[in-house]
Structure formats: structure tokens, C-alpha cells
Structure 1
Amino acid sequence: MYISRKLVNGVYSYSLNQSYFDPPYWKTKVLLNLGTNPREYVHYYSDVAFSILVEEDLKKLGVQTDQFELEEVFYPFLTQDAQRWVDFSLNRKPIKRATTRFSPSEVHFFDRRRLIALRLDHREPWRVEEKFFPFYRELIEKSRDEIENYLWNFEDKLNYREKVRYLYAIFGLNYTPTQEDQDKLFIQRLCEIASDEAYRMGLSEDEVIKYYLCRYVWLYFDVIPIRRVPSFYLKMEESIYKEVAYVLNVSLETLYSLSKKEILKLFREKIKIYHPDLGGDREKFIRIRKVMEAFLKIRF
């Protein structure tokens, strides 16, 4: 189960949904309508003690659940104190979901791309989307509606700067020379995704644009300020990437696939070799540090 949201007349409308398999796609069905405020279904006995008031309604529908599962489903709508209690309570029992082995190709490329950008803060997720990442499992056996709401909840946690970087990453907009080219590319790629039956999973183009992809249109045209990336900046960025790859003794392709944590680990190992206090070359030490600082700014 999961909570689905849709924008209706400028207001979010929520429902408790469940994905089910209707060959060849996973689809969704509404179990309960939650109105405009799911918090109304959380009853508090104290700052941290609470219950979710839908368990009996679900049992009448033949849906077996418990408060542990409902805590997870309603987690975004709990108070901060209640969320902390859920996170750290020793009595909390994690829900285990058994899933069969799968191939990355079973997850749509746009879903993989978004999850890579969210999980790894990767600026160029399209370069590594064919690789297997364990977190792809989070999107297996889910309907289009559940996948979108799952990713949407992650996107809500991004600050403004992170959202801009995320949007540019998932649509591959970082290297367009002019604003006009960038606008055309964004619209082209969004339309390609909307027309892809594998992405729509039985829904119409109008439905996926209206309920899901519209959030990216709004972010791109109404929230992100117009920005033009000069060609000299792109060349400078490419030069920095090449120098960092050389310093860390990895290929460019490997560098693109590494997470921030992995890059910093390699950097610390390399910088020790040139540290002046350890008998290293001072000039090389300063140069490597400056290059890494510049790289981290443009990459992360």
C-alpha cells in the first residue's frame, strides 16, 4: 500500500492505493479516499504515541494490514516527534518484502535514471543507468502511480539547488549551448517519455503528463530561472574532469560512475602521497587540492 496524490484544481487530493498485477502491467486501485489532508487519519495519544485510523476500514475491504505497515505508509504525514519515535523505537519491526531476482532492464530507464540521481546525487545518471544497483529493487512490482509517488516523495526532500541539479541530470540538460536548445531538448525528451508505452504502463499520454510529468514542466518553466551555459564553461568543465581522472588514475567512464563518497576516498588516498608534512611535493599537493575543489563544485 501507499498514499497517492494528484493535483486537482490546484489542491492535492490523496488516496490510499494498492498496486496489483494485471498482465502485462502493474496497475493501481484506490482503497480509501483520504481527502486533502491524510493527517486527519492519525490519532495522537501523546507526542509520540499514535494510531492510524484506517485499519478497520481496510479489513472490511479484505485488506490485511497492521499498524507497523500503516506507520510506514503514513510516515510523511506524522509529526517530527512521531517520526523520530518510528525511526528509533526498539519495538519497531521492519517490513520485509520478498522479491525475485530481476534485471535492470525490468525497470524503465527514466525510473532508473531518477533513482540514481536521487540515491547517488549523480549529475549524469544516464552514463551508468545500464549498471545494476541494488536500490532498483525499490521500483519492482509497482504500478506507474506507485513509482511516481515513491520518487515524488524523495524529490520533495530536495532543496531548491538540488532540484535544479536533479532536473538537469534526469533530462540530460547540462551541456546544451543555448537556452533555446535547452528548452527544445527538455520538451523533446519529456514528450518521448510520455509517448513510451513501457513508461506509461497502460495509461494514456494525457494521464502521465497531467498527473506525473507536469511537475517537471512546472519546475522547469516556472521555478528555475533562465540560465545559459557558455561554451567556454563547458570546455573548462571537461578539462577539469580529465585532470581529475588523471590524478585519481581512473578512466573518465569510471569517474562518471563513482559516487561522491567513492571519489573522496580516492582523493584522500592520493593527497597523502603529496602532503608536504609527509615529504611530498607541496606544489602538486596544492594543485591537486584546487582541482578537486573545483571538481566537487561542478559535480556535486
Structure 2
Amino acid sequence: MYLATEQQRGVTRYRIRISVQTDKDLYASQTVFDLGPDPCRFFNIVAEHCVIFDDALLSALQDAEIRRPADELEKLLFAFFPQDVQQRLLLFRDRGIKYKGPLSPEEKEQIQRQVHIVDKRRLYYLRYGAVDQSRLYRLNEKCCRPLIGQSRDEREYYFREQEKVLEPGMYLQYVYAIFNLCRHFQQSFASWLPEALPRDEIGRHLKEALRLLQLDTSFWQAEKAGEQLHPHLQHYLWMLRNFVPRTASFQQRFAEDFIAGRRQFKWPERKTPTASPEKFKEIWGVSREQLQAMSQRELTRLYRKKALELHPDKGGDAELFIVMREIYTALSKK
């Protein structure tokens, strides 16, 4: 059982829904009770901390075969209680929780069949904060246990609740990681630093990933996605638009400076130093055309011979030696 919301003419309406199995490993959502825009109408506070729920609401949950409906409603509508009531109830809220132990073989099989890869990526990021999803196989399968037997609608509301821990500065990393957008980029830092990548390209690849997910029947199970992009998927476009960059880290500044430098800097073209034909003949003993026609081996042999003659340590002319070395370096690069 979970609480769903729906926007109608700018007003938020609340509905209590459950997941119903329609086929093996296929679940659909079903509305049990419409709370309207104000769920507070369906409970009263008695003796400062005792919550009494509406009889019609309890009856609807009993008809849906919800066990201990009052306790479930207390968890579901906890956020609507007055703050002083919340503080009192927190003292007793989690006392009945028991350790569920390791996964059974049946649960492991259900996880393999029911949990979509996008769900696993979301769990992996929310648990470890890892943009690089190359070690997704290390995700503890116990993290997937709450998703067993849930419809797509219930799962999306589950993740919506989990995503409340994300700050606006983490939105870009989150959508980049869960839709595996790094596969579209060739930069060496693409797997871990999406902030340094072009935002418009990330947005374009995200829209394409959402379009494909809209058509993925294994993702929606027994739900109908519709022709237009589903509101559950529109949520991730909203995340990308509302991303607020955090204070730049050293890695981000380094990557941005590196990219900017590669875009602006160009190695200057190496040109053969100019020398008059007479000086060229004086240095090398051959003409420019003859020198350019030589192989690398012949050029090196001649250079070493002339270097012994022109080197300043051997009593040669320092200026001519420098010109000769520049000409040799330029010709060797060709």
C-alpha cells in the first residue's frame, strides 16, 4: 500500500493505491481510496496523540484485504499529522520491526525476474553515490527486496521518496548514472565527471533514453505508459533542468581547464629556418635541394660530420652550428 499524488488543475489530490498481481511477475496499481486534496479530513487526533481514522477509509482498506489497516494508515499519513503528534509517535513507530534475515532462494529468483536494470542503477547510486556504474554487479541484492511484488507505479513512488535525500547539485550525476549516459561520450573522465561534459548533449541523450524506456514493456509490467512521456519519466527531465552546480571541485576545474586548453591551443607549424644559398652551401657543403632529397640516414651521417667541424667546442662557428641544428631538426620532422 502506498500514497500516490495527481495534479488536477493545479491542485494535488492524494490516493491510496495497492499493487495487484495480474500475471506471473506482472503487477498493476489499483486505487483503493481517494483522499482528495486534504487527507487530514479522514483522521482525528484524540487525547493529544491518539489518531482515529475515518470508518469509510478503514472499511475500504479491509475490503482490499489490508492487514492492520490502522497501523498502515499511521505510517502512510504520518507526514500529515501535527508535529507534536509525530514526535510522540516516533517513540513507538519502529519497535515492531524485525530483522528479515538473508534472502531466500525464491526472493533471489523474483529479484532477477522483476527488478529492472534502471531500478538497480538507482539503488546503486542512492546507496553508494557512485556515478561510475561499472561495478553494479556488487549491489547487495537485499537492497532490491522492497521492490518485490510492486507495480511500476508503486516503485516510482518508492524511488521518489528515496530521492529526497539528493541535493540539487547531485541531480545531474544521478540521471547521468541511472540511464548509463557515459556510453555516449569518449572523454577519459566521462565515467565519473558528467559536470565537465556539454549539458545540451547530456540532455539530448537523456531524452532518447527516456523515449526508449517509455517503449520498454518489461519496465512498465502491467501498467500502460501511454503515448506521451509518462509523468514518472518527466521527473528526470525536471531534475536535469533544476540541477544547480555545486562548488567546483579540483577534479572539475582540472577537467574544464584541460578541455578549454585543448580547444584553444594549437601547436605552431614548424618551418624550415631560412638561410641564403651561400650560407646553406657554407654550412652543409651541398645545396638545399640536394639536402632535402637525402634519406634520413644520409642526412644524419652528414649532420654528425658537420657537427664535428662547426661545434664551438671544436673551434667552430657557434652561429652557424645553431642554424645547422635548426635545419636538421626541421628536416628530420618531415
TM-score tier, shorter chain, comes to 0.5 to 0.7
Q: Which residue of 2 aligns with 1:12?
A: 12
Q: Which residue of 2 aligns with 1:193?
A: 213
Match of 1:203 among 188, 210, 223: 223
- Tell me the amino acid that sits aligned with residue 238 of structure 2: W
Deviations 1:111-158 (A, max 9, x none): 111122223333334631564431200111001111111111222343
Task: Say which SS state the counterpart of residue 206 (structure 1) adopts.
Answer: coil
Using the aligned pairs only, state the percent identity. Answer: 22
Q: How does 1:109-128 map to 2 (within 5 A)?
A: 109-125=117-133, 127-128=135-136
1:207 Cα offset (Å): 6.8
Measure, in 1, the Cα distance between the counterparts of 2:167 and 2:202. Answer: 22
Residues 55 and 65, structure 1, Cα contact 8 Å, conserved in 2 = no
Q: Which residue of 1 aligns with 2:45?
A: 44
Match of 2:233 among 213, 232, 235: 213
Task: Say which SS state the counterpart of residue 30 (structure 2) adopts.
Answer: strand
Q: Which residue of 2 aligns with 1:93?
A: 96
Deviations 1:223-268 (A, max 9, x none): 22599x98951798xxxxxxxxxxxxxxxxxxxxxxxxxxxxxxxx
Task: Give the TM-score, by structure 2 length.
Answer: 0.59
Task: Say which SS state the counterpart of residue 123 (structure 1) adopts.
Answer: coil
Task: Tell me if 1:105 matches 2:112.
Answer: yes
Deviations 1:190-248 (A, max 9, x none): 11221111101133333783331111122223x22599x98951798xxxxxxxxxxxx
Task: Say which SS state the counterpart of residue 14 (structure 1) adopts.
Answer: strand
1:173 Cα offset (Å): 4.8
Task: Say which SS state the counterpart of residue 93 (structure 1) adopts.
Answer: coil
Aligned Cα root-mean-square deviation (Å): 3.5
1:55 Cα offset (Å): 1.6
Q: 1:129 to 1:206 in 2, by over 3 A?
A: farther
Measure, in 1, the Cα distance between the counterparts of 2:200 and 2:94. Answer: 55
Residues 55 and 67, structure 1, Cα contact 8 Å, conserved in 2 = yes
- After TM superposition, the structure 1 stretch with the greater mean CA deviation from structure 2, 129-138 or 109-118, is 129-138
- Whichever of the two has the greater Rg, that structure is 2
Q: Which residue of 2 aligns with 1:292?
A: none
Q: Which residue of 1 aligns with 2:2?
A: 2
Q: Which runs of 5+ in 2 are unaligned?
A: 183-189, 259-334
Task: Say which SS state the counterpart of residue 28 (structure 1) adopts.
Answer: strand
Measure, in 1, the Cα distance between the counterparts of 2:90 and 2:240. Answer: 34
Residues 200 and 208, structure 1, Cα contact 8 Å, conserved in 2 = no
Q: How does 1:1-300 map to 2 (within 5 A)?
A: 1-24=1-24, 25-53=26-54, 54-59=57-62, 63-89=66-92, 92-94=95-97, 100-103=106-109, 104-106=111-113, 107-125=115-133, 127-128=135-136, 131-173=139-181, 175=190, 177-206=197-226, 209-221=229-241, 223-224=242-243, 233=255
Which structure carries more relative contact order (alpha carbon 8 Å, separation 6+)? 1
Residues 42 and 78, structure 1, Cα contact 8 Å, conserved in 2 = no
Measure, in 2, the Cα distance between the counterparts of 1:171 and 1:138. Answer: 21
1:183 Cα offset (Å): 1.6
Residues 169 and 243, structure 2, Cα contact 8 Å, conserved in 1 = no
